[in-house]
């Protein structure tokens, strides 16, 4: 058991017969009335984000979750397959449980969040930044750099992201997987 004073981002709690992770929270002490905690909770089963308000001092049940190191192996019609880096056990994870799955590369290390009591997979956390090669982009126009102009670029796994005009086909770029944005060009 924990109280609202123990809330922090990433904490996994049992709420409404489901497991939720705290995405955002704010302690509020109004001038009149009791204090409360305003939260954004993300369901680990459905991925839906809800807003909820807890009275200050409310007790909640914490869920025991573990982050385990895995390596991405391959994808087929059933989903994605990963191998545990220490025990070499292989598991299957459906595509719906992986945010931004298009940034996975074979052999890439990921962390899989597992509910420790039931041994069920809750989510797959891919690295925050990945380096990928641009397979196609339109050439930038000379002199068109007065503004922060972006163009479409297709990367090696088939996804399309927005990049600056100076990025060309064959360049390696660093991508932020949380919001699918270009970060920088990587020197070879």
8-state DSSP, 106: T
pLDDT of the residue at 176: 92
pLDDT in tens, 90-120: 999 988 888 888 888 889 999 998 888 888 8
pLDDT of the residue at 38: 94
Report d(CA 123, CA 27) in Å as an integer: 27
* Radius of gyration of the chain from its Cα atoms, rounded to whole angstroms: 21
Residue 185: Cβ within 10 Å count: 16
The residue ranges of every structural domain in the chain are 2-62, 65-125, 129-186
pLDDT of the residue at 145: 62
Same fold across 2-62 and 65-125: no
Report which secondary-structure segment, H or E, holds 51. Answer: strand 49-55
Print burial letters for 132-141: b (CB count within 10 Å at least 16), e (below 16).
bebeebeebe
pLDDT in tens, 31-83: 888 999 999 998 887 778 899 999 988 999 998 888 899 999 999 988 899 99
CB 85 within 8 A of CB 70: yes
CATH number belonging to the domain at 129-186, selected among 3.40.50.300, 2.40.50.140, 3.90.1150.10, 2.30.30.30:
2.40.50.140
- The residue with tokens 């299957």 is 92
CATH number belonging to the domain at 65-125, selected among 3.20.20.70, 1.10.390.10, 3.90.960.10, 2.40.50.140:
2.40.50.140
Report d(CA 139, CA 155) in Å as an integer: 15
pLDDT of the residue at 52: 93
Report d(CA 130, CA 126) in Å as an integer: 9
Work out the angle at residue 108's Cα, subtended by the Cα atoms of residues 102 and 113, and round it to the nearest 5 degrees.
80
Q: Tell me the pTM.
A: 0.73
CATH number belonging to the domain at 2-62, selected among 3.30.160.20, 2.40.30.270, 1.20.1440.130, 2.30.30.30:
2.30.30.30
pLDDT at 148 over 80: no
Helix or strand or coil: residue 44? coil
Report d(CA 103, CA 133) in Å as an integer: 12
């Amino acid at each position: 058991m924990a109280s609202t004073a123990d809330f922090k981002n990433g904490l996994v709690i049992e709420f409404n017969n489901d497991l939720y992770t705290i995405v955002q929270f704010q302690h509020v002490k109004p001038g009149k009335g009791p204090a409360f905690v305003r939260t954004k909770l993300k369901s680990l089963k459905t991925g839906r984000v809800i807003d909820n308000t807890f009275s200050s001092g409310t007790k909640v049940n914490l869920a025991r979750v573990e982050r385990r190191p895995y390596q991405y192996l391959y994808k087929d019609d059933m989903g994605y397959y990963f191998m545990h880096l220490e025990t070499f056990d292989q598991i299957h994870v459906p595509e719906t449980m992986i945010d931004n799955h298009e940034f996975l590369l074979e052999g890439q290390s990921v962390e899989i969040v597992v509910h420790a009591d039931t041994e069920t997979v809750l989510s797959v956390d891919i690295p925050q930044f990945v380096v990928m090669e641009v397979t196609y982009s339109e050439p930038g126009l000379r002199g068109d750099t007065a503004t922060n102009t972006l163009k479409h670029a297709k990367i090696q796994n088939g996804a399309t992201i927005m990049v600056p005009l100076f990025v060309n086909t064959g360049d390696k770029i660093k991508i932020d997987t949380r919001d699918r944005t270009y970060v920088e060009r990587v020197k070879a």
